[in-house]
Structure 1
Amino acid sequence: MAGADTPAETPRNPNLRPPWQPGQSGNPNGRPKGARTKLAEDFCQALLDDFAEGGIDAIRIMRAEKPNEYVRAIASVIPKEIDGTINGDLSDELKAWLGLTS
């Protein structure tokens, strides 16, 4: 029932087989141990070196020119939840702000 609009099927070459058997890895040695962590360590070290060179000035420029990005950067490093206890006397205003009023 193939009409004139139906593309002809391409014949499959019978010599084409998968490069390895099912269950056999194409890379039996796999990724070298520590390769992923080495990349992360190198990246973090490069970032630390770059920050040591000009990070403080970059933060000051960001604060002056893009205050919304500055606040977003601060918020991204603050934990979402803080668990702990507060010792000492708090002002009534701070207690109300924290929702600690009884």
Structure 2
Amino acid sequence: MAALLRLLLSRFGILLTELLTHFGGLFVRAYLWLKVAKLGIFTIKLGIFFGILSAMINGIKLLGNSLIVSMPPMLADGITRVMPDNFYACVTTILLAKFIVYTFHIKDRVLHMGSDV
């Protein structure tokens, strides 16, 4: 039994050596291509994530700066005394913080979407 096993291992060892000699480079290239493709898809998803984040920042700033309200002069004067000078920056920061928290709650689903393909 041991002689038969030794004979089979020696024959299959030669076949395995020949297989790796001829197709080893192909296996390595296929493996590396899959890794690079996954990295590329991850990079695209990350770019989309940051693009949406920057679009949200610009949208909040634009919305805050485009609001125009007509008020009586005394009321407008009273509000400017109470409201800080950087009111729009404060509102933008608060809304952006809420958006970032929401985005980080769903980021795992977004970044892993399609990873099983």
**Fold in common (TM above 0.5):** no
TM-score for the superposition, normalised by structure 1: 0.30
TM-score for the superposition, normalised by structure 2: 0.27
The structure, 1 or 2, with the larger RCO (C-alpha pairs under 8 Å, 6+ apart) is 2
Relative to its length, the structure with more helix (as a share) is: 2
